Amino acid sequence: MSAILLHPDDNVLVLSAPVHAGQAVTIDGQAVTVISDVAVGHKLARHALAVGDKVLKYGAPIGSITAPVAAGGHVHLHNMRSDYIASHTRQATGAKGS
């Protein structure tokens, strides 16, 4: 698997090549089967993540988990939210007259 651990405290890995459902990958010495196809540049959970867990990338929190994610699971907008911006489009919510 081609994945990058950007910081030792991170709980996600960033893919430098796509992975496919059913593919076996090794994360921190553990064999994990990927459940769904995940595109290059997206994140895989380094270990199981629960609702409310902070997503750590570059050693810093980038958001929170909104649905449980198994080790090796795809971490993206369907199961995490930014704690800093309304969405990946960076549009503020409730702004009027802008």
Q: In angstroms, what CA-CA distances link 57 with 5, 22, 50, 62, 75?
A: 9, 25, 16, 6, 11
Q: In the chain, which residues have pLDDT < 50? A: 95-98
45 belongs to a structural domain = yes
Is 89 part of any domain?
no
Give the integer Cα–Cα distance in Å for 86 and 90: 6
Q: Which domain holds residue 63?
A: 3-81
| Per-residue model confidence (pLDDT) at position 86 | 66
pLDDT of residue 48: 96
Which candidate, 35, 31, 27, 3, places its Cα nearest to that of 17?
Answer: 3
pLDDT at 98: 43
Q: Is residue 40 part of a domain?
A: yes
CA distances from 24 to 27, 48, 60, 72, 93 (A): 10, 16, 28, 9, 40
Three-state secondary-structure class, residue 3 = strand
Q: What does the pLDDT read at residue 3?
A: 85
Q: What CATH number has the domain bearing residue 67?
A: 2.30.130.110
